[in-house]
Amino acid sequence: MARPTATPDAALRRGPVTSEKPARKRRLETRVASVKKLKITKAPAKPLSDTRSAELAAEFVDHDVASVYKVIHKTTGALGGNAAGGAIYGEITRNSMGKILEYMQEHCELGRDSVFLDIGSGLGKPNFHASITPGVAISYGIELEDQRWQLSLSNLQGVLKTSALYPKVNPVIFTQGDITDALSLEPFSHVYSFDVGFPPAVMAHVAECFNESVSARYFISFHQPRKVLEQYGFEVDEIGRLGTSMAGSSEGHTVYFYRKTALPTRTKETKEKKVDPLFGAGFHVVQQGHDAVLSWVEAQFSQRFSQGRTRRQVQLAKAATPSSLREKKLETFYKVVRRGPASVKAK
């Protein structure tokens, strides 16, 4: 059956077809107008609590410390020291070093005004750690072995050339030297050492310097109180101890914290802090800032590679050397086996 078609009269009775879009637009405009009439009140921002602020600050510090260790691992490896032919070498883990520094802040007055010394600094990790948290005034490391000292300079260069760490690290310096050449431990306030393998004579000399130094107040060692007080002669009292873990090993050592029993009286001539001659060159450089330290490190590398001579000096020395010494035939270095006539004919 066919569907009836609408007549023109019916279409006129229904009226024109209107779109729903204008109605939607009107509703939207009504809602916008109602929202504008509302008074939006901005609540004041609540400040963070002291506990939360401390937690955030600690997280930022941990990130900076981890970044420094990452640069060191990239530069000289996760565990190093080149101990072949040298004294015993060991590294405690980053977490253990963090616990040591936290204990020193709580019980040993370690702070931003402290001057930190690491005897046998190796790759320099404790010095870098202390320069960030708590951010000591100067972090100084002295190392006997030449190879380890060179590695610490490479780490120092890598850290200071990292733009994100340049403003975070407080003054750090590493020098090579024998601690038995020191006359005192001025002007260090805190003396740290992984001294597990130190000879008794070295420990006795460190004790003598520590006892006579006015600035030296705390000594952090891995030797038991019986040795430190009775055998080596440190004038200190034990104030605490912690267990530590070794990097790359399941071995662990106990670290002991000592406080000097009585400070020596400061005479009129020694009212100002003096720097022992063994540390004088390092202090002269580190007090000038990071840029001076970087220039000094680069000078140490260039001096080592060129053996202390400039390019002009090398050229003059080469010109002054007789040609007979400069131009040698291969036979002077290696024994050359020549074939005889018989062997040539046989071939």
> Rounded to the nearest 10 degrees, how much is the dihedral formed by the CA atoms of 64, 70, 75, 79?
120
The mean per-residue pLDDT over the stretch 127-155 comes to 96
The mean per-residue pLDDT over the stretch 288-309 comes to 85
Residue 104 lies in a domain: yes
Amino acid occupying residue 56: L
Are 277 and 183 a contacting pair, CB within 8 Å? yes
Mean pLDDT over each residue of the chain, to the nearest integer: 82
Could you give the C-alpha distances from 333 to 175, 269, 297, 318, 327, in angstroms and in order? 39, 63, 37, 20, 12
Least confident residue range of 117-131, 173-187, 303-317: 303-317
Residue 313 lies in a domain: no
Q: Please report, for the domain that includes residue 197, its CATH number.
A: 3.40.50.150
Cα–Cα distance between 295 and 314 in angstroms, integer?
A: 22
Enclosing domain of residue 142: 56-263+276-306
**Which pLDDT score, from 0 to 100, does residue 305 have?**
65
Number of domains making up the chain: 1
Which residues touch 195 (CB under 8 Å, ≥6 apart)? 119, 120, 203, 206, 221, 222, 223
**Which pLDDT score, from 0 to 100, does residue 332 have?**
44
Residue 65 lies in a domain: yes
The mean per-residue pLDDT over the stretch 249-265 comes to 87
pLDDT more than 70, % of the chain = 73
pTM of this structure: 0.73
**Which pLDDT score, from 0 to 100, does residue 14 have?**
55
Cα–Cα distance between 107 and 259 in angstroms, integer?
A: 10
Residue 35 lies in a domain: no
Residue 29, classified by CB atoms within 10 Å of its CB into exposed (0-12), middle (13-18) or buried (19+), is exposed
